[in-house]
């Protein structure tokens, strides 16, 4: 007995010593990073730093990395090293693992300089202190970048009155489209001009069911459901559809979205479509989309169908707008690049993002890959033709569309049309507001868990809304939805006072 | 008895001295010790994350030390959650079934294979039962999908060919407890069997020869020789698995069910929930859940060992 006590006390002493050691290590590493940031802050040192050309780590999202990836990046680096004295090391998280991976990177403090983030994640990450406050830096260090992006879009990225990221200025206002495979439009004489609501869609979709028993005119997957279903409600950047403010509600009332009559009605239509085999029965469990769909819903912009046609090997897609364009805080926060609070090269990172947003040559290399391998230039940096679909990086995450080349086949004035859409966009009544959840984390986590439990079945129409919605709301209420709604209303009232 | 006491006496009389033998043994143990310190003891300090409001302020260590303390706030969500009961029920329920089946079936098969006369056949059977162990759950999940997918699954096309209606397996919670139990048994059987089989083959054959001369049937040999000799191993395996009663195989419950919403009530265990929390909630909350899991696991292993010691002190591990 005595011996084991001795052993245990020994162990305790050992662990204590180790903690002490670990603590030392911690404070050391912190102080060194502090010093180095100070060093780069001093104007004298920047010149010496840029001489040995810093390499920035940029985490972004994309597909499978192709063999020529490093070669294409080298070409980019050669160009930027000469131009602004910065190189880039692009790390790609795949579409499926991005959520988890980015969380891990932020939480473990793995060093990075630039990171792609979006609505729903952004405010949490800022609350954690992961990103640098660039409010002043962006105006002093990269005035061209600041000027290139309209005030309204910058406003949308504000948290607590400060900028923590560079928004991607593109189709920043949301425009929702319905897309048919043109084959069926011709065959069933679908009059796309008279389709405005989900109800109008019912008739053509039901007609298309005539194709066969195993043909599902409105295929869905668990993650998407009917894309854009909750668009009419501003989600307060919470990324949690059951709570929102109707985008055109002047009184800015926070409501329980699922219980709203219009949403309820649409859910009933969706459920009807599901029951009649218009939606595939395995939608709530299906994870991957089939290539080439008879009908789908998408957030898009003029000319977007060109690349879908290439990717899906469909001859022609007919798409038409049915909602928007509208600015909400979430649509603007749909694509952001933030700079790490611990980055040694904050200024260089901003310079790089400035170049991405203002220099068509770099922009095209980033978006399309290696010239001559992944894409061919058709008209300088203005029109290009993609020759392979292997380049993994997602163009929408990197920077503005308005210095990007148009793909062959899309309208040449594509980006002007997108700009027009942005200009014509209405604003959500709570534009600029983002919910601060730092005091609500328990409630938000629990409500999210409840929604995660039911969402796939709700958004694909698999469950009967008349039974499910009351059940979900009851559970959400006991998980603390009322507390969130009350706090949200208070915050909104204060913000717009 | 007397020899043990003698040994003790001897040890007491010896003055404490470092032998050459000790150096050798210490050196031998060094790599393992270092490994344990690095990967088992150091990460334990991560537990404090569960009591902190995690904030970024530099490297990981300074994050941990500079984040403000929040006491038990991170634990709140665990116990405020509506589904805490369902999740704990699933975790413990499945584990109880797995523990029982994980002892009964491997022992049964080990005895059966041990009785086979043909060495070749027993090797073949054993290998075949062992194979599934090497498959990752991701692969099993894909195979399961090939069988149970709604539109392309083998099972459904068989049903349709026989004139039935296809079943949306991934949305029918009632079948899944059986699927999950079956898959777990199928995958773990061969692995569980190895230890029992090794014990059985190493049993002194003279016992059996004596029993056969006395006219014991195979059933009697098993009942009175094999099983009592296996008892120690069985109890040890039992304690080991009880210690993990709050842990479940994440791959089985998350991958194989394809995170289907409809199966929430039958397939969400603590590990699955911790993973989902990591994706959406804060690190603090996820570590709080994992912390509760470890503490409960430690408590159960101690209790199980205590009970075993009460019943049969030789079989206890500690």
Cβ contacts of B151 on chain A, cutoff 8 Å: 214, 280, 282
The two beta strands, A336-339 and A114-117, are antiparallel
Q: Which of B245, B248, B239, B261 is nearest to B318 (CA)?
A: B239
- Residues B202 and B210: their CA atoms lie apart, in Å, by 17
By residue count, chain A amounts to 497
Cβ–Cβ contacts within 10 Å for residue A218, how many?
25
Contact between chains at A453 and B66 (C-beta distance less than 8 A):
no
- The alpha carbon of residue A26 is apart from the nearest alpha carbon of chain B, in Å, by 5
Q: CB–CB of A256/A266 below 8 Å?
A: no
Which A-chain residues 81-110 have CB contacts (< 8 A) with chain B? 99-100, 103, 106-110
Distances (CA, A) of A379 to A384, A408, B175: 7, 10, 60
Contact A476, A242 (CB under 8 A): yes
Q: Do strands A243-246 and A406-407 pair parallel, antiparallel, or not at all (unpaired)?
A: unpaired
Mean pLDDT, 10 residues at a time, over chain A (497 residues)? 55 51 39 37 41 87 87 92 92 83 82 90 85 92 91 86 91 90 91 90 92 89 86 88 92 94 95 93 83 88 83 86 88 91 91 93 90 86 83 88 87 88 89 84 86 90 93 92 95 90
Helix (H, G, I), strand (E, B) or coil at A320: strand
Distance CA B135, CA A228 (A): 39
Strand partners, B75: none
**Cα atoms in the 13 Å half-sphere on the side-chain side of B231:** 13
Contacts of B73 in chain A (CB under 8 A): 442
Residue A51: strand, helix, or coil = helix
Cis ω on the peptide bond leading into residue A325 (within 30° of 0)?
yes
Mutate to test the interface with B, among A15, A220, A282, A476 (most CBs of B within 10 A): A282
Q: What is the largest CA-CA distance in chain B?
A: 85
Across A276-316, where does the E strand assignment appear? 295-299
Indicate the angle between helix axes B227-242 and B84-115, nearest 10 degrees: 160
Residue of B nearest to A216 (CA): B151
How far is residue A362 from each of residues A63, A80, A400, measured CA to CA in Å? 20, 8, 12
In chain B, what residues touch A455 (CB-CB under 8 Å)?
261
| Nearest residue on chain B to A221, alpha-carbon basis | B260
Chain B residues in contact with A108 by the CB 8 A cut-off are: 60
* Cβ pairs bridging A and B (under 8 Å): 138
d(CA A429, CA A28) in angstroms, rounded, equals 48
Quote the Cα angle for B171-B173-B178, to 5°: 125
Q: Are B259 and B137 in contact (CB under 8 A)?
A: no
**Which of A98, A101, A285 should we substitute to test contact with B (largest number of B Cβ atoms within 10 Å)?**
A285
Instruction: Give residue A28's pLDDT.
Output: 36
| Chain B residues within 8 A of A100 when measuring between CB atoms | 278-279
Asked if A106's CB is within 8 angstroms of B56's CB, the reply is yes
Question: Nearest 5 degrees, angle CA A243-CA A245-CA A250?
Answer: 165
- Supply φ then ψ for residue A52, to 5 degrees: -90, 20
Partner B contacted by A280 (CB < 8 A) = yes
**Which residue matches tokens 């007995």?**
A1
Report CA-CA distances (Å) from B97 to A92, B104, B294.
42, 11, 20
* Distance from C-alpha of A49 to C-alpha of B274, rounded to nearest angstrom: 43
Q: Which residue, A278, A153, A120, A108, is CA-closest to A204? A: A278
pLDDT value, residue A30: 35
Residue of A301, A288, A290, A309 lying closest to A386 (CA atoms): A309
Contact list in A for residue B62 (CB cut-off 8 A) is 26-27, 29-30, 109
Task: Calculate the CA dihedral of residues B188, B191, B192, B197 and round it to 10 degrees.
Answer: 150
Contact criterion met (CB < 8 Å) for A280 and B151: yes
Alpha-carbon gap, residue A432 to A210, rounded angstroms: 47
Question: Is the CB of B282 less than 8 angstroms away from the CB of A449?
Answer: no
Contacting residues of B for A445, CB less than 8 Å apart: 77, 277, 280-282, 285
The 10 Å Cβ neighbour count of residue A425 is 21
| pLDDT at position B186 | 93
Question: CA of A354: how far to CAs of A156, A339, A420, A478, B35, in Å?
Answer: 19, 13, 23, 47, 47
The proportion of chain A whose per-residue pLDDT surpasses 70, expressed as a percent, equals 90
Task: Give the nearest chain A residue to B55 (CA atoms).
Answer: A128
Where b means 16+ CB within 10 Å and e means fewer, A74-84 reads eebbebbbeeb
B285 neighbourhood in chain A, CB within 8 Å? 441, 445
> Which of B45, B63, B276 is the closest to A22 by Cβ?
B45
pLDDT at A41: 39
- Interior CA angle at A64 toward A58 and A70, to 5°? 55
What is the distance between the alpha carbons of residues B291 and B310, in angstroms, rounded to a whole number?
A: 29
The interface residues of chain A toward chain B in range 145-184, judged by CB-CB distance below 8 A, are none
Q: Element (H or E) spanning A429, and its range?
A: none
pLDDT of the residue at B11: 58
Distances A199 to A8, A216, A270 between C-alpha atoms, Å: 71, 18, 9
Cα(B314)–Cα(B318) distance, rounded to whole angstroms? 10
CA closest to A34 among chain B residues:
B58
Residue numbers in A near B80 (CB within 8 A): 442, 446, 479-480
Mutate: best of A109, A447, A460, partner B, most B CBs <10 A: A109
Report the alpha-carbon distance of residue A237 to residue A126 in Å, rounded.
13
Nearest to A109 among B59, B83, B264 (CB): B59
A-chain CB neighbours of B264 within 8 Å are 453
Q: Give the nearest partner residue to B81 out of A285, A342, A446, using CB atoms.
A: A446
A282–B261 CB contact, under 8 Å? no
- Distances in Å between the Cα of B224 and the Cα atoms of B104, B216, B218, B310 are 17, 10, 10, 23
Contacts of A478 in chain B (CB under 8 A): 82
Residues in chain B with CB shorter than 8 Å from the CB of A285 are 150, 168, 170-171, 258, 260, 262
Q: Do A441 and B285 touch (CB under 8 A)?
A: yes
> Collapsing DSSP states into helix, strand and coil, what is residue A327?
strand
Are A116 and A99 a contacting pair, CB within 8 Å? no
**Mutation target among A442, A480, A481 for the B interface, most CBs of B within 10 A:** A442
Q: Is B148 on the interface with A (CB under 8 A)?
A: no
Is B65 in Cβ contact with A23 (below 8 Å)? yes
- Least Cα distance to A343 among A61, A162, A106 occurs for A106
What's the token pair of residue A217? 């005119």
Helix axes A43-51, A2-41, angle to 10 degrees: 100
What is the structure's pLDDT at A243? 94
pLDDT recorded at residue A38: 37
The token pair that represents B231 in the structure block: 């008892």
- Whether the CB-CB separation of A447 and A476 falls below 8 Å is answered with yes
Q: Across the interface, which of A29, A282, A462 has its CB nearest the CB of B61?
A: A29
For chain B, 318 residues long, the average pLDDT of each consecutive 10-residue run is 57 70 91 92 85 78 81 81 85 94 93 89 91 92 89 89 88 92 93 90 89 91 91 86 86 88 88 80 80 86 84 71
Per DSSP, A211 falls in state: G
Provide the chain A residues 248-277 that lie in CB contact (below 8 A) with chain B: none
Chain B residues in contact with A459 by the CB 8 A cut-off are none
pTM, two decimals, is 0.77
C-alpha torsion A23→A28→A29→A32, nearest 10: 160
Contact B57 A129 (CB under 8 A): yes
Structural tokens at position B105: 């079936």
CA distance A314 to chain B (A): 22
Nearest CA to B54 out of B75, B68, B73 is that of: B68
Neighbours of A299 (CB within 10 A): 17
Is residue A411 within 8 angstroms of chain B, CB to CB?
A: no
Determine contact: B262 vs chain A, CB below 8 A. Answer: yes
Burial A323-350 (b: 16+ CB within 10 A, else e): bbbbbbbbbbbbbbbbbbbbbbbbbbbb
Check: complex ipTM more than 0.85: no
For residues B303 and A163, give the distance between their C-alpha atoms in angstroms, rounded to a whole number: 55
In contact, A317 and A308? CB cutoff 8 Å: yes
Going by their DSSP bridges, the two strands A406-407 and A383-386 should be labelled as parallel
Contact yes or no for B242/B317 (Cβ under 8 A): no
CB contact under 8 A, B285 and A462: no
Q: What is the pLDDT of residues B140-155, one digit of tens each?
A: 999 998 999 887 889 9
A403 close to A145: Cβ distance less than 8 angstroms: no
- Pairwise CB contact (< 8 Å): A442 & B76: yes
pLDDT at A53: 85
Contact criterion met (CB < 8 Å) for A18 and B37: yes
Q: Please tell me if residue B155 touches chain A, with a CB cutoff of 8 Å.
A: no
CA–CA dist A208, A126 (Å, integer) = 47
């Amino acid at each position: 007995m005595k011996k084991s006590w001795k052993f245990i006390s020994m162990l305790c002493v050992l662990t204590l010593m180790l903690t002490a050691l670990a603590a030392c290590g911690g404070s050391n590493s912190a102080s060194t990073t502090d010093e180095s940031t100070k060093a780069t802050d001093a104007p004298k040192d920047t010149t010496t730093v840029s001489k040995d050309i810093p390499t920035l780590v940029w985490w972004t999202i994309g597909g499978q990395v192709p063999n020529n990836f490093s070669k294409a990046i080298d070409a980019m680096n050669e160009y930027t090293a000469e131009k602004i004295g910065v190189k880039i090391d692009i790390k790609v998280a795949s579409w499926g693992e991005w959520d988890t991976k980015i969380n891990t990177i932020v939480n473990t403090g793995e060093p990075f300089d630039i990171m792609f983030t979006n609505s729903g994640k952004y405010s949490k990450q800022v609350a954690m202190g992961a990103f640098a406050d660039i409010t002043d830096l962006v105006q002093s260090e990269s005035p061209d970048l600041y000027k290139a992006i309209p005030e309204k879009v910058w406003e949308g990225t504000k948290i607590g009155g400060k900028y923590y990221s560079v928004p991607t200025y593109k189709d920043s206002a949301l425009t929702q489209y319905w897309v048919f495979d043109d084959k069926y439009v011709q065959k069933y004489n679908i009059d796309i001009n008279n389709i405005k609501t989900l109800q109008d869609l019912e008739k053509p979709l039901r007609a298309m069911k005539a194709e066969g028993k195993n043909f599902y005119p409105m295929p869905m997957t668990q993650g998407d459901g009917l894309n854009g279903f909750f668009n009419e409600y501003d989600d307060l950047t919470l990324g949690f559809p059951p709570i929102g403010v109707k985008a055109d509600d002047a009184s800015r009332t926070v409501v329980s979205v699922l219980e709203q009559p219009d949403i309820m009605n649409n859910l009933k239509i969706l459920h009807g479509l599901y029951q009649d085999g218009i939606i595939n029965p395995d939608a709530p469990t299906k994870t991957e989309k089939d290539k080439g769909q008879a009908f789908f819903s998408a957030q898009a912009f003029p000319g977007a169908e060109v690349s879908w046609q290439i990717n899906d090997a469909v001859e022609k897609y007919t798409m038409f707008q049915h909602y928007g364009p509208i600015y909400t805080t979430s649509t603007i926060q749909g694509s952001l690049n933030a700079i790490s609070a611990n980055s040694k090269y904050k200024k260089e990172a901003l310079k790089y993002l400035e170049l991405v947003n203002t220099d068509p040559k770099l922009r095209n290399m980033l978006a399309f890959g290696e010239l001559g391998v992944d894409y061919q230039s058709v008209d300088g940096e203005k029109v290009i033709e993609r020759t392979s679909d292997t380049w993994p990086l997602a163009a929408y995450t990197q920077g503005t569309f308005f210095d990007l080349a148009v793909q062959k086949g899309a309208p040449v004035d594509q980006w002007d049309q997108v700009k027009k859409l942005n200009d014509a966009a209405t604003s959500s009544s709570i534009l600029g507001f983002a919910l601060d959840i730092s005091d609500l984390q328990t409630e938000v986590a629990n409500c999210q868990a409840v929604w995660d439990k039911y969402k796939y079945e709700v958004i694909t129409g698999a469950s009967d809304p008349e039974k499910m919605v009351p059940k979900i709301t009851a559970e959400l209420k006991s998980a603390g939805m009322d507390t969130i709604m009350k706090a949200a209303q208070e915050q909104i009232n204060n913000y717009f006072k | 008895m007397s020899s043990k006491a003698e040994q003790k006496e001897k040890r007491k009389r010896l003055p404490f001295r470092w032998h050459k033998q000790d150096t050798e043994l210490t050196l031998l143990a060094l790599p393992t010790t270092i490994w344990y310190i690095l990967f088992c003891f150091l990460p334990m300090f991560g537990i404090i994350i569960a009591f902190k409001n995690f904030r970024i302020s530099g490297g990981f260590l300074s994050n941990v030390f500079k984040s403000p303390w929040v006491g038990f706030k991170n634990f709140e969500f665990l116990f405020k959650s509506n589904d805490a009961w369902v999740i704990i029920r699933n975790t413990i329920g499945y584990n109880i079934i797995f523990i029982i089946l994980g002892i009964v079936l491997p022992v049964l098969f080990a005895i059966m294979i041990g009785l086979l006369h043909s060495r070749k056949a027993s090797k073949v059977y054993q290998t075949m039962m062992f194979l599934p162990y090497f498959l990752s759950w991701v692969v099993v999940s894909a195979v399961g999908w090939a069988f149970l997918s709604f539109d392309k699954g083998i099972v459904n096309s068989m049903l349709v060919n026989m004139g039935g209606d296809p079943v949306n397996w991934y949305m029918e919670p009632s079948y899944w407890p059986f699927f999950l139990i079956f898959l777990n048994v199928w995958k773990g059987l061969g692995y569980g069997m190895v230890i029992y089989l090794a014990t059985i083959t190493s049993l002194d054959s003279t016992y059996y020869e004596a029993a056969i001369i006395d006219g014991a049937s195979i059933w009697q040999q098993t009942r009175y020789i094999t099983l009592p000799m296996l008892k120690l191993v069985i109890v040890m395996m039992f304690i080991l698995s009880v210690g993990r009663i709050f842990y479940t195989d994440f791959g089985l419950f998350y991958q194989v069910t394809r995170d289907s919403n409809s199966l929430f009530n039958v397939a969400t265990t603590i590990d699955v929930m911790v993973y989902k929390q990591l994706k959406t909630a804060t690190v603090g909350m996820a570590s709080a859940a994992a912390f509760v899991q470890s503490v409960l696991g430690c408590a159960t292993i101690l209790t199980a060992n205590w009970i075993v010691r009460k019943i049969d002190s030789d079989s206890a591990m500690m």
